Amino acid sequence: MPPLRTALLQSSGRPGSVDGGLRVLDEAAGRAAAAGAGLLVCPEMFLTGYAIGDAVDRLAETADGPGSAAVAEIAVRHGLAVLYGYPERDPAPASGAIYNSAQLIGPDGGRLANYRKTHLFGCFERTWFTPGDHLVVQAELAGLRIGIMICYDVEFPENVRAHALAGTDLLLVPTAQMHPFQFVAESMVPVRAFENQMYVAYVNRTGEEGTAGAGAEGAFEFVGLSCLAGPDGAVRVRAGRGEELLLGEVDGALLAASREANPYLADRRPGLYTALG
* Domain architecture of the chain: domains with CATH: 4-265 (3.60.110.10)
How does pLDDT run across 216-268, given as a tens digit for each residue? 456 899 999 999 999 999 999 999 999 999 999 999 999 999 999 999 999 99
Q: Which one of 117, 125, 209, 227 is the catalytic residue?
A: 117
For residues 57 and 61, give the distance between their C-alpha atoms in angstroms, rounded to a whole number.
9
Active site residue 44: yes
* Alpha helices, H only, the chain: 18-34, 55-59, 66-78, 122-128, 157-165, 183, 189-196, 252-261
Q: Which one of 42, 44, 61, 125 is the catalytic residue?
A: 44
Q: Is 0.75 surpassed by the pTM of this model?
A: yes
Of 21, 28, 37, 5, give the one whose Cα is nearest residue 244.
Answer: 28
For residues 96 and 128, give the distance between their C-alpha atoms in angstroms, rounded to a whole number.
11
Query: What is the residue type of 4?
Result: L
Pairing between β-strand 199-203 and β-strand 170-174 as defined by DSSP bridges: parallel
Could you give the C-alpha distances from 149 to 202, 214, 250, 254, 273, in angstroms and in order?
A: 10, 23, 18, 23, 24
What's residue 67's pLDDT?
Answer: 98
What's residue 141's pLDDT?
Answer: 98
Low-confidence ranges of the chain (pLDDT < 70): 211-218
What's residue 277's pLDDT?
Answer: 72
For residues 108 and 67, give the distance between their C-alpha atoms in angstroms, rounded to a whole number.
16
Q: Which one of 125, 151, 155, 209 is the catalytic residue?
A: 151
